[in-house]
Amino acid sequence: MRGPFLLAIAARRSPSGSPHFFWTGTRMIIVTAVGTPADDVENIVAHVERAGLRAHISRGEERTIIGCIGDHDKLIAANLTRLPGVEQVLKIGKPYKIASRAFAGSDTIVSLGDAAGTRVGGSELVVIAGPCSVEGRDMLFQTAHAVQASGARALRGGAFKPRSSPYAFQGMGREALELLAEVRAETGLPVVTEVLDPRQVELVSEFADVLQVGARNMQNFALLTEIGKSHRPVLLKRGLSATITELLMAAEYVLAQGNTQVMLCERGIRTYETSTRNTLDIAAIPVLKRETHLPVLVDPSHAAGQAALVAPLAMAAIAAGADGLLVEVHPDPTCAQSDGEQSLTFAAFDSMMRQARVVAQAMGRELTVPLLV
C-alpha cells in the first residue's frame, strides 16, 4: 500500500485453523496528525486502553493509525478527538478492513517489476493480453510479440488450467512456466499466470511476475493465505456468483499476510442471462473504486464469451473507470485448445487497442499504442 496510512495487520490462527484478525470488532480508527510525537501516540494508546479497549498500532511513513477494538459506546465516551495528536476518528462498519479505502491515504499502485516500470492503478491504463492457455513455444512467442506491438504491457498465459471437464486440456504445467519465463526474457513483458493450488505457489512464483487467482478459486482461503505469504503481485478475479463484499474479503486474506500488491478483476458474474457467457457487472467498477484503494481491472473476454463482444465491453469498462484490461488473444482462435470463441485475433486486438486509446484519453488515462506503419 503506497499511501501514508500504511497498514499491515497481523493475523493469528483460531482453533479451527482459519485466520482471526486482531481487527475483529473494530468500530473506529484514530488517525494521527503528520509528525505526531511518539509520546503523544503512547498517550492516545493509554487513553484507549484505560477506557477498556484494545489498541492496535500501525505506523506509516507520515502518520500512525490506531485501531480501537471493543465496545462502541466506550469508544464514543473516550473523547478521543480532544487528545493531542488526534487528527481524525473514523467509524468503520465494513467487514473488510485493510482493503477498505478508509485505511489508505491514496490509491494503491501495483508495480509489475519489469524494466519498463509498468504500474497498475496510476494514470496509465494497463492492458494484459495473451492466450488462455500456453499451447506451445511458437504460438506463445508469436502472441507475445503481437500483443506487445499493439501496446500490451504484460503477457497472460495459463500453465495450469481449471476446466469443468476432467477430460479437457489442463495446461502444460511446468513446461508452460518455463516458456513464459523464456518469452519474458526476450520481450521484457511481465508474466501473469494462474495458480490453482497452495502447493503450486512456490513453483509458479519462481517463474511468474503476477500470480492470478481465478474465479473458481476466489474463496479458496488456503490458496489466498499462501499467495499472501509469497509477496508477489496478485490478480484476484471475482467469483462467478460472488458479491463485491465477498471479493473484498477474499482480498483481505491476501492483504492480512502482509502482501499489499493486490489487483481486483471483474470478469462477469453468473446470472439468468444466456446471450453472453457471463454478465459483466459494469456497476462493480465504480463501486469498487469507491470502496477500496486497490486497482480494478476488467476481463471482457470471460464476460463476453464471444470475440465480437470483447471490444465493446472493454470500452465500457474503461469509461466506467477501470485501471486496466485482461484480454485473451490467440494467433488462430479456431485452433485454440481453450476459450477460442472469445479470443481475439492479432488484428482484432490491435483494432481494439486503437479504440481503447481514444476512450482512455477521454477518461483522462494514458494508453500508448504504436503508430501504424
Which among 186, 178, 127 is positioned nearest to 156, based on CA atoms?
Answer: 127
Nine-digit cell string for 312? 465493446
β-pairing verdict for 191-194 and 210-213: parallel
Which residues pair with residue 263 across a beta bridge? Answer: 235
CA 247 to chain centre: 10
**Which residues of the chain are in CATH 3.30.70.1140 domains?**
11-93
What is the enclosing helix (H) or strand (E) of 183?
helix 174-187
Predicted structure pTM score:
0.80
Decide: helix, strand or coil at residue 93.
coil
Q: How far apart are CA 101 and CA 152, in angstroms?
A: 29
Burial of 275 (0-12, 13-18, 19+ CB in 10 A): exposed
CATH superfamily, region 110-362: Aldolase class I (3.20.20.70)
Nine-digit cell string for 369? 499504442
**Which residues of the chain are in CATH 3.20.20.70 domains?**
110-362
Q: How would you write the pLDDT of the chain (373 residues) with one tens digit per residue?
A: 333 333 333 333 333 333 333 344 446 788 899 889 999 999 999 988 888 887 878 777 778 888 776 665 666 656 778 889 999 887 767 788 889 887 776 899 999 988 889 999 999 999 999 999 999 999 999 999 999 999 999 999 999 977 777 767 777 899 999 999 999 999 999 999 999 999 999 999 999 999 999 999 999 999 999 999 998 999 999 999 999 999 999 999 999 898 999 999 999 999 999 999 999 999 999 999 999 999 999 999 999 999 999 999 999 999 999 999 999 999 999 999 989 999 999 999 999 999 999 999 999 999 988 866 4
Phi, psi of 209 (to 5 degrees): -90, -30
What distance, in Å, lies between the first and last C-alpha atoms of the chain? 40
Answer whether CATH 3.30.70.1140 is correct for domain 11-93. yes
Residue type, 51: A
